[in-house]
Amino acid sequence: MGNVRVGMVGYKFMGKAHSNAYRALPMFFPKTPALPVMKAICGRNAEALEQARSQFGWESAETDWRKLIERSDIDVIDINAPSDAHKEIALAAAAAGKHLFCEKPLALNVADAKEMLDAAEAAGIKHMVGFNYRFAPAVQLAKKLVSDGRLGEIYHFRAVFLQDWIIDPSFPLVWRLQKEVAGSGSHGDLGAHLIDLARFLVGEFDEVIGMSETFIKERPLPSEMTGLSAKGDASGARGKVTVDDATLFMTRFENGALGSFEATRFAAGHRSTNAFEINGSKGSVKFDFERLNELEVYFTDDADDVQGFRRVLATDPAHAYMDAWWPAGHTIGYEHTFTHEMQELMLAIHEDRQPVPNFHDGLRCQEVLEAVEQSITERRWVKLAEYK
Ligand code: SOE
């Protein structure tokens, strides 16, 4: 197996993050046995696409994803278009025998996610889902401490993902605020990351109960399907917001640990606070994406006179991925999580195994998302077993 030829659908926020990762891999991880070749980028607006193609460094461009999938010089299709496009593209790509990378949330609902997983399995292709925060070295360190038993029995997982980019009522009704395009609001966009981190670090969910709110129920219509920095015309036509602005929920994990989750786009002052804490019988860890190089750790068996949380800078060669970047102590950022993620995709294809996280993880996450929604609608605890 030589290098892996990539065709990418989408060229906005995630398209840029993925392109940057593909470009960084040969420079910082040159020993990766299969490196990405940036064959073609795909989007509908030819002019904007050409700008992205030359800026991001892709060899060619396609304005129709069906043509991209038909190309014999492409091995993997990377889908980072809005969520409602994931399924159709993934099914067609799998049928054509292409490996898949798909952004989160995998699909609009459990049924679609299941169909995507089944199609990928039937086609015998590799499939990966974009939960990039797993790939922060400090999160990998938290995982190692839990797996090695250094936190003992896990009692609590407490997580928040707080943003404030739609707090202004004149912010327009972009695609992320429309259920038929996005699936859900802060729940699927931000909560999905927390659910994946919880599964990665603590284990499977047993039961959930939640609550949610849409604080601003109508917004100005945008002139185009713009992204996070869109501007609205407060005096123009308005449309209904059909997703949650905030969703909170509680869980009991299968291993008996308790979890609490809060995802909101209405936490004034919080641009992107993605943070969790784990408490076990032998210690605790705290992570905050705003300080993503750090993990706070506490061990119960520290000497009495130095008890307390201490800050570990996860930037030494002992920490995951760090020997590939800079000398010890030199920090990394958000974009590096995507480089690590794409390295996993390349390694898995080369080693003929499924990447992690894959569509199974995407489906499990979708089940938790939907169970929480069901619990809100029916005002009761919902068991994940109801989805089996
Ligand atoms: C916007 O809400 C967003 O960019 C999400 O779409 C990402 O998944 C999250 O990582 C940060 O916030």
**Cα(339)–Cα(343) distance, rounded to whole angstroms?**
6
Tokens of 193: 């990351």
CATH architecture of 4-132: 3-Layer(aba) Sandwich (3.40)
Could you tell me the pLDDT band of residue 235, with boundaries at 50, 70 and 90?
low
Reported ipTM: 0.93
Taken in order 178, 179, 180, 182, the sign of the CA dihedral is positive
Give the pLDDT of residue 200: 98
The strands making up 273-280's β-sheet, listed across from edge to edge, are: 310-313, 294-299, 283-288, 273-280, 154-162, 258-264, 246-253, 205-213, 382-383
Does the Cβ of 245 fall within 6 Å of ligand 1? no
User: Does ligand 1 have an atom closer than 6 angstroms to the CB of 260?
Assistant: no
The amino acid occupying position 14 is: M
C-beta neighbour count of 46 within 10 angstroms: 11
Confidence of residue 233 (pLDDT cuts 50, 70, 90): low
Q: What is the average pLDDT value for the chain, to the nearest integer?
A: 96
| Per-residue model confidence (pLDDT) at position 222 | 85
pLDDT at 232 exceeding the cut of 90: no
Its pTM stands at 0.97
Average pLDDT over residues 217-221: 95
Q: Is the CB of 273 under 6 A from ligand 1?
A: no
Q: How far does the centroid of ligand 1 lie from the alpha carbon of residue 138, in Å?
A: 19
Please name the helix (run of DSSP H) or strand (run of DSSP E) that holds residue 99, with its range, or none: strand 99-103
Q: Which of 260, 251, 156, 248 is CA-nearest to residue 207?
A: 251
Positions of E strands within 105-182: 127-130, 154-162
Q: What is the pLDDT of residues 296-347, one digit of tens each?
A: 999 999 999 999 999 999 999 999 999 999 999 999 999 999 999 999 999 9
Q: What is the pLDDT of residues 174-204, one digit of tens each?
A: 999 999 999 999 999 999 999 999 999 999 9
Ligand 1 atom with minimal separation from the 176 CA? 2
Superfamily of domain 137-291+293-332+366-377: Dihydrodipicolinate Reductase; domain 2 (3.30.360.10)
Domain with CATH 3.30.360.10 in the chain: 137-291+293-332+366-377
CB 248 within 8 A of CB 211: yes
pLDDT at residue 223 in the model: 72
- pLDDT of residue 245 exceeding 80: yes
pLDDT, one tens digit per residue, over 2-32 is: 799 999 999 999 999 999 999 999 999 999 9
Tell how far the Cα of 190 is from the centroid of ligand 1, in angstroms: 6
189 lines ligand 1 (CB under 6 A): yes
Distances (CA, A) of 87 to 109, 110, 205, 276: 10, 11, 25, 30
Q: Which residue owns the Cα nearest ligand 1 atom 9?
A: 190
Q: What is the DSSP letter of 187?
A: I
What residue spans in the chain does CATH classification 3.40.50.720 cover? Answer: 4-132
Cα torsion through 241, 243, 247, 249, rounded to 10: 150
pLDDT at residue 236 greater than cutoff 90: no
pLDDT digits (tens, 9 = 90+) for 354-378: 999 999 999 999 999 999 999 999 9
Bridge partners of residue 248, in order along the sequence:
211, 262
Residue 117 contacts residue 297 (beta carbons within 8 Å): no
